[in-house]
Amino acid sequence: MPYTLTCMEPSPQPEPGSLRRWSFPWSLVAAAGLSAGLLELPFPIAGPMPPWRSVFAWFALAPLLWAVLAPACTRPLRSAFLIAYICGILWYVGNCYWIYDTMLIYGGLPPVVSALLLVGFSLVLGLYFGLFGLGLAFVRKATGSTRLALAFAPFLWTALELAAARITSVPWDQLGYSQVDNGLVNQLAPWTGVYGISFLLVFVNALLAGGFLPGRRSASRFSNRTAWALCGVVVMASGACGVLHQPLKQVASAIAVLVQPNLDVASTGYWLGPGEWSGHIAQFTQLAEEDCKSYIAGIPQTRAQTVNPPCPLQPTHPDLVVWPEAPAPFFENDPRFQQSMPQVARAVHAPLIVNGVGSDFSPGQGVWQDHVSAMIYNAAGDELGRYDKMHLVPFGEYIPFARLLFFARKLTGKVASYTPGSMRKVFHLDGHRYGVFICYEAVFADEVRQFVKLGAEVLVNLSDDGWYGDTSAPWQHLNMARMRAIENRRWLLRDTNTGVTAVIDPCGRVRQSIPRHRVDALPAEFGFRDDITFYTAHGDVFAWLCAILSIGVVFWSWNRQRSS
């Protein structure tokens, strides 16, 4: 009996002169909704993600691919776009639900407005899913080959992930991040970046979907559909087993004290009360001196054990002290700050990296410009330089289209006046080179790798995830930072205001951390490396090749459609 999809058979041709009806395929929408739900599972939802859940990424897209390429009732291009668009909207609403909490709790916006912002965000970014479905359906329609469309899927998906990073600048939770705990599969990252992992996952999903789509019967015992499905299952099983792979332990040779001040992000943070400044600086100094204490040997809120290391009888000094992005009145031009930071560095006998607000006078505009900055001091208390954050957070550190979106000032306040930096820098401390990037910059792989290309032997990420509360975002942000360590094969010191404060080894494993929402410090053991990965040297070349090939296939299909 021939393979049929009776619920999606073409509807009868309309009579001459009658209006053409479009029968929307709700059964296919249900399949797209299933994909959206399955795609939520291989990412953190409200806490750290168990590694076993990464297996869902290997088949979560298969229902969507089936829905997009199954025989539709009428207007297959429109159906494919809308089906995939609905999937994208649902996925972004679920994956980025924390936007609602951030806007409501910390932005002070009404619940309705907060919900509308989340929905608007999802409507915009969901278009990438819609374009994915449209592209596959177009290639299938132009060529008449479902298999060719499926083969095109991983290239198009990778190209659209690149577009999300370069056009809308929101490459949040790209598919490849789901495999950050897969010690086998994430070895692609030093070559292709996270994009290569996304490519592999979509490739396997396409194989599995091919097992459920109509195909030619072969003379052999198995049909083409069976061959596709079996191949997909084998590759999926082989890849998913990578969560059991444990890379070789990386050797640490230095200690950094990562201070976690746990300051309230809703406070003004000006420290104007009597003794308030001196009290906070004294606490900062005390935490910076805690270079031997207990820590969690893994990610917080998991089964990772707490370790109490043996401490030397004589006090030692760390190789580095770090203060994170936090609501502290650390203004570079403030005399209190200029006096206190050298005192802290000299007291702990260690170099210091401190997040604060740097300022420059702009002769062209005749005004002072503020930057989200990291100030660097040596152990003698001398300021060596400053890195100004180059990739600011829209609606958090500046307002895009400020005149049009004037109402957004209620959410951002003074933060909206920050100016992006113009240069990446590497800092020399005690014979080693450090690359420092701030908060949201961790999600941009091609930007972080440039610090390593400039010579950074270790990476330092300053962040304040207190704005996210107890949602999925801090854990998602952590996993994306972990991928930066894998891509560049560098130790990464991640210092945050409220957690997750951790040290990440060059294989992406969280080696040490401390609990969230606690005033604490982490004596983080780390090391230095100066080797360069292919991804560090060449960046997103793999993703760009996928983008070029995707454009070529679309144009080829367009010409084929016109000539037929």
* pLDDT cut 90: percent of the chain above it: 70
Split at pLDDT 50, 70, 90, the class of 221 is: very low
> DSSP of 353-415, one letter per residue?
EEEEEEEEEETTTTEEEEEEEEEEE-TTS-EEEEEE-SSPPBTTTB-TTTTTTGGGHHHHGGG
pLDDT tens by residue, 263-316: 998 876 788 888 999 999 999 999 999 989 999 999 999 999 999 998 887 778
Task: Please report, in angstroms and rounded to a whole number, the separation of the first and last CA atoms in the chain.
Answer: 31
Count the helix, strand and coil residues of the chain and give each as a percent rounded to the nearest 5: 45, 15, 40
| Torsion from C-alpha of 28, 30, 35, 40, nearest 10 degrees | 160
Residue 547 and residue 560: Cα distance in Å, rounded? 20
* 385-426 pLDDT per residue, tens: 999 999 888 767 766 655 555 555 555 444 457 889 989 999
**Predicted confidence (pLDDT) per residue in 52-85, tens digit:** 999 999 999 999 999 999 876 578 899 999 999 9
CA dihedral 480, 484, 489, 495 (to 10 degrees): -80
Fold topology of 254-526: Nitrilase/N-carbamoyl-D-aminoacid amidohydrolase (3.60.110)
3-state secondary structure of 84: helix
**For residue 13, is pLDDT > 50?**
no
pLDDT at position 10 over 60: no
Q: How confident is the model at residue 488 (pLDDT cuts 50, 70, 90)?
A: very high
Is residue 213 pLDDT above 90, yes or no? no
C-alpha to C-alpha distance for 332 and 508, rounded to whole angstroms: 33
Spatial separation of the C-alpha atoms in residues 296 and 313, rounded to whole Å: 22
Q: Is the dihedral of CA 233, 235, 238, 240 positive or negative?
A: negative
pLDDT tier, 240 (very low <50, low <70, confident <90, very high otherwise): confident
Higher pLDDT, 89 or 224: 89
Ordered by start, the domain boundaries in the chain are 25-246+541-563, 254-526
- Residue 432: φ, ψ to 5°: -125, 160
Beta carbons within 10 angstroms of residue 433's beta carbon: 17
Q: Which residue has the tokens 């609501």?
A: 327
Better pLDDT: 432 or 242: 432
- Strand-pairing partners, residue 429, are 432
Residue 357 near residue 372 (C-beta atoms within 8 A) = yes
Q: Which two tokens stand for residue 477?
A: 């942000």
Q: Can you tell me whether residue 437 is helix, strand or coil? A: strand
Q: What would the pLDDT profile of 33-48 be if each residue is shown by its tens digit?
A: 999 999 999 999 989 9
pLDDT for 231 beyond 80: no
CB 65 within 8 A of CB 53: no
**Once rounded to an integer, what is the mean pLDDT over residues 485-512?**
97
What is the gyration radius of the CA atoms in the chain, in angstroms?
26
SS3 435: strand
Tell me: pLDDT of 23 over 80.
no
Using DSSP, state whether 256 is helix, strand or coil: strand
Residue 29: other Cβ atoms inside 10 A: 16
Nearest by Cα to 398 from 367, 425, 421 = 421
Give the CA distances from residue 265 to residues 271, 287, 558, in Å, rounded to whole numbers and listed in that order: 13, 20, 52
For residue 183, the model assigns a pLDDT of 93
Q: Which residue has the tokens 């996928």?
A: 546
Residue 78 · residue 97 · CB < 8 Å: no
What is the chain's mean pLDDT, rounded? 88
3-state secondary structure of 521: strand
Backbone angles phi, psi at 106, to 5 degrees: -100, -20
Q: What is the DSSP letter of 102?
A: I
- pLDDT score at 9: 40
Listing DSSP states for 159-209 in one string gives HHHHHHHHTS---TT-GGGGGTT-TTGGGGHHHHTHHHHHHHHHHHHHHHH
Which residues is 370 bridged to in the sheet? 359
**H-helix or E-strand spanning residue 46:** none
